[in-house]
Chains A and B, each alone.
Chain A
């Protein structure tokens, strides 16, 4: 069976449906009487069932089917939504997800679902719903199949009617095709596609029932109806369509506008003309009613699925272009040829726009990561016996696809951590004078070239003493060091490797893998994480991430003969400072920068750049920051600002101190990119 090529689509779509099941179930839990939610859930479940049965994943289909029965009972007011029911449905969705993931990783998607099926059955029976009645309800309540062919006429909007009338005038025929697929047809969507392709060769498809979108998603039973405008004869069309295999029957009828409100059963040979002017009056009423349905269709065609590899390839090519653009700019500058300079400038602008578009294409809303958290938090809160209110803000914030892929696990870890160690049990919260329900906030927002994600809870906060004791006993720091730590430094300690503050190891977090993994992942993405906390007030973990990982704006500086790039995102400003303004504190050079004491770092020393030190009266300083801390980097000269492509130093040179990567400049030379985060301690 050649279902393999559909596998990817199947997995993608299944995931989407499972996600929407989750979302809607959560909504339903908040508002159990909302029957439109039940309908949505039912729809997703039904599609999932159809798809998995088509692909031959029987367990998946069985479980969905049982779930569907329960949902159907709910929808028909035979059952009321209770937490118990939802729990089991949630569990069923979890199982479904596991199965889909199993399929995605090459498995069979089979799983022992007997217990869940039994439970679902019990729910169904428990409310004394006779088995057969609920079964009978299923087909009756499936919205899509329900709309029979004859409804097609009444769903025409004015535009479509006009087209039909005009085509009649111009000698085209309006045909209504009623196509039935064979019972055992496996890939209905594929057959539909083939039918449409044939129809589109011979004429124009005006309308179909169910809609094209539903047809593609296989939201129909065995038959569908299409309205076709063509010059060809009905019999010819019928013959052509029948050539598609797995088609049971094709009924072609002449379609007449006049009949749209009644039954359009007229066979082909009834040759009454349809061009009555009286049609207009009747046309308007139904057309208006159906406008909403008509509006939905075009929206879905505005997006296409593109393989991420292609986007990566596009990005790579564009990076090459950026490098050459730099080279061109340099040549144009040195030649001082006005026309060339103008052209290059124009090209730079255009490629700048291009860059924005390409980068935007790779951006996905962080919702993709956030959307699984409500479920997770709900489950965790249950497991831990805590009451949690999760608030999510800024789920629409967009991040580069590569960052999104990586950020999920660290966030899961932090949330587990906040629930397990942060938020207290309801009784303890009450004793502390806090509401029984703890709050967990997830907030994402853009700022400059960065995206910030904050995870805040109103729990116990971080106990400074406990952290220090633990750190000392684990050998992370010494007693002496512990004396002089600032609050922030103490909080950073919990992200050191070999650290876990939970008194006992729980199932939820503290399984040996600590926050150090979180910190490493975030830093490898070019971001950083800071912690703020107040005892019994709660903690805030804030993560700063770069918008994109490949093209960044930098300030090029020169130290002796060597060029370095400082990411613009970490620069506050550049300054030229008089030697006499440099002061000394604890043997360290500092300057007074707008009222702050800022330590100076001489890059020539740090990077051991060969050559005599400049002994000018003025020093060029780049003021950088990491969180609230600042530092001044002493360089020889500022070269200027430039967009560069971030390249790694390769697998051989990893972890070079204070260097986060390299880039290729316009002249073909490599410049190193300074990791300002590691320069500020």
Chain B
């Protein structure tokens, strides 16, 4: 861990449906503005399509759809957060992405049993920071397990 303070998690904060989420910076390779997305037919509904990310064809996932939230129009603040997971590179569409902040390890609490409609297994924990409540995402579970399996076996 290269961080100065081992107690802190450096995380990117993004917004989705009025809630704030956090992903560790180590998993993020960049934040992109919206651009043309090419739809890929016959894939899971939350797979928005693919984009040309500086010459690399990168799949894009609509996080709202993934979390079962209502769809929203893309605005000027809509962003794609490009994340690495294992050997995959995937973009996540979020309502807005903010700065990087340090979350002290001791501010993180394990995920409560029930957090609204979001399935518990992609939540690693919840961090309380002054007046903010941040949901820490477990990226592997956002895309792997059943969902990716389902994706990989999509067939006509």
Instruction: Give chain A's interface residues, CB within 8 Å of chain B.
Output: 320, 323, 562, 606-609, 647-659, 662, 664, 668-672
Contact = CB atoms under 8 A, between A and B. Distances in A.
Contacts of B151: 652-653
Interface in B141-156: 143, 148, 151-156
A644 to B, nearest CB: 12
Contacts of A657: 41-42, 154-156
A649 B59 contact: yes
Contact of B88 (A608, A650, A664, A671): A650
A533 B141 CA distance: 49
List of 6 A-B pairs having minimum Cβ-Cβ separation, nearest first: A607-B41, A657-B156, A670-B38, A652-B88, A662-B57, A651-B88
A655 B41 contact: no
A314 B50 CA distance: 26
Contact of B143 (A647, A652, A654): A652
B152 A654 contact: yes
Contact of B39 (A562, A647, A664): A562
B125 to A, nearest CB: 25
A635 to B, nearest CB: 14
A653 B51 CA distance: 13
B42 A608 contact: yes
B87 A656 contact: no
B94 to A, nearest CB: 17
A497 B53 CA distance: 37
Given A320-B55, A669-B52, A653 B43 contact: yes
A655 B156 contact: no
Interface residues of B, number: 30
A652 B87 CA distance: 9
A668 B55 CA distance: 8
A607 B43 contact: no
B156 A653 contact: no
B interface secondary structure, majority: mixed
B89 interface: yes
A650 B156 contact: no
B114 to A, nearest CB: 29
Nearest to A668: B52
Contacts of B51: 670
B151 to A, nearest CB: 7
Contacts of A320: 55
Given A323-B55, A670-B52, A652 B41 contact: no
A608 B40 CA distance: 10
B87 to A, nearest CB: 5
Contacts of B148: 652
A-side interface mostly: loop
B57 A670 contact: yes
Nearest to B91: A652
Given A323-B55, A649-B57, A649-B59, A656 B89 contact: no
Contacts of B154: 655-657
Interface string B46-61: 0101111001111100
B149 to A, nearest CB: 11
Contacts of B90: 650, 652
B138 to A, nearest CB: 17
Contacts of A658: 41-42, 156
Contacts of B89: 650, 652
Contact of B153 (A562, A655, A664): A655
Nearest to A669: B36
Contacts of B155: 655, 657
Contacts of B56: 647, 650
13 contacts: A323-B55, A607-B41, A649-B40, A649-B57, A649-B59, A650-B57, A652-B89, A656-B154, A657-B41, A664-B57, A669-B52, A670-B38, A670-B51
Given A562-B38, A649-B50, A662-B38, 7 more contacts: A320-B55, A608-B41, A650-B57, A651-B86, A651-B87, A659-B40, A664-B52
A670 B153 CA distance: 23
Contacts of B156: 606, 657-658
A665 B42 CA distance: 22
Contacts of A650: 50, 56-59, 88-90
A670 B47 CA distance: 15
Contacts of B58: 650
Given A652-B88, A655-B153, A658-B156, A671 B40 contact: no
Contacts of A609: 41
